[in-house]
Amino acid sequence: MKSSNSKPSRNLAMDLVRVTEAAALLAARYMGRDDKEAADQAAVDGMRELLNSIEMEATVVIGEGEKDEAPMLFNGEVLGLGGFPKLDLAADPIDGTRPLAQGRPNSIATVSAAPRGTMFDPGPFMYMDKIAVGPSCRGLINIEKPVEENLKIIAKAKGIRPQDLTVVVLDRPRHVELVKKIRGFGARIRFIDDGDVAGALMTSLPESGIDVLIGVGGTPEGVLAACALRAMGGEIQGKLFARNDDELKAGIEMGYDFEKVLTMDDLVASDDVFFAATGITDGELLDGVKYYSHGARTESIVVRGITGTVRTIIANHSFEQLDAISTLQY
């Protein structure tokens, strides 16, 4: 496990939730307006301003912009007021940009922080094959085993029949064979258009009815999910996924191992992690932003790894008071 000389001593998650709330409040106005770039810009602007108000020196290890060709918190960018703690930062201002632009559910703003040098840096390789489960299956899964074998292990650990198991899968053409195997096993499938951070987290929330997330999704989302699941008692494993031979060759030349199983310790090598997410559009994990006269309501989840505390925060925001202290226009 990696180590760091500067460990956060306060609950930064309570600062980070202000960051995701700002991103959500500004981005949610673009729901259904079919303008992904404007929504991304609004969320990034909100995140950057609030991150720069926190007493910390946070280096962006994973920013979301490159993959989406969108406005971005760029890798290597240093945010915060400076000083201590010194942190790695993973941010996805909008996990689910397309659902937001199309007025669909399950779009969230999310950010995570951990001591400097403890987060996995995927470089330019933005996709990962992954499997995520909740606490009852931690230590039992193996991404290198056949899908059917993992599902059998999960069903047994949870004490449920195969036909009662619910698997979250991103709805993508690349998952045709995966879907055939899951159906052949007899499990149920919950397809999602985007937003597999929420899908991974729901495996650790019994009330969600989700048992496992499987398939290829974003590497940034994998690291963000690992930060939350580490505190929530769940588990995620991954393997970098090359979209073509050229990407595979480039990765090997850069020293990346596409056969290596990335464990929780590889993705974030510290228990002293912080995670926050705020709903932008309504979803199964979080309610979206609700606007009313002169303000709005948000719902967020906040996780602190070192204590294992998971909070749900419902906040009411006054735009008049926010506008008075911010350069952003709420």
pLDDT in tens, 39-79: 999 999 999 999 999 999 999 998 854 544 556 788 889 99
Token reading at 226: 């690992």
Over residues 220-224, the mean pLDDT reads 92
Tell which residue, 9, 261, 284, 22, has the closest CA to residue 166: 284
CB 4 within 8 A of CB 88: no
Confidence of residue 266 (pLDDT cuts 50, 70, 90): very high
Judge whether residue 286 has pLDDT over 50. yes
| Structure confidence at residue 135 (pLDDT) | 95
User: Percentage of the chain with pLDDT > 90?
Assistant: 78
| Structure confidence at residue 64 (pLDDT) | 57
Confidence of residue 235 (pLDDT cuts 50, 70, 90): very high
Q: What size, in residues, is the chain?
A: 330
Q: State the pTM of this model.
A: 0.91
Confidence of residue 248 (pLDDT cuts 50, 70, 90): confident
| Structure confidence at residue 287 (pLDDT) | 97
Q: Which sequence spans correspond to the domains of the chain?
A: 13-117+272-325, 127-267
Token reading at 200: 């991974």
Sheet with strand 212-218: strands edge to edge: 188-192, 166-170, 212-218, 127-133, 235-240
CB 202 within 8 A of CB 149: no
Judge whether residue 303 has pLDDT over 70. yes
Over residues 212-228, the mean pLDDT reads 94
Over residues 198-217, the mean pLDDT reads 94
Token reading at 249: 């060759």
Give the DSSP H/E element, type plus range, for residue 228: helix 219-232
DSSP symbols for 42-90: HHHHHHHHHHTTSSSEEEEEE-SHHHHTSS---TT-EESSSSS-EEEEE
Its CATH architecture, for the domain 13-117+272-325, is 2-Layer Sandwich (3.30)
3 state DSSP class of 57? strand
| Structure confidence at residue 71 (pLDDT) | 60
Tokens 């990696």 correspond to what residue? 2
Distance CA 310, CA 218 (A): 24
Token reading at 163: 């036909």
Judge whether residue 5 has pLDDT over 70. no
The DSSP call for residue 119 is B
Distance CA 62, CA 233 (A): 23
* 168-202 pLDDT per residue, tens: 999 999 999 999 999 999 999 999 988 789 999 99
Contacts of 245 (CB under 8 A, 6+ apart): none
Over residues 123-140, the mean pLDDT reads 93
Cis peptide before 85 (omega within 30 of 0): yes
CATH class of 127-267: alpha beta
Greater confidence (269 vs 206) lies with 269
Confidence of residue 23 (pLDDT cuts 50, 70, 90): very high
Token reading at 320: 């008049």
Across the chain, mean pLDDT equals 91
| Structure confidence at residue 72 (pLDDT) | 79
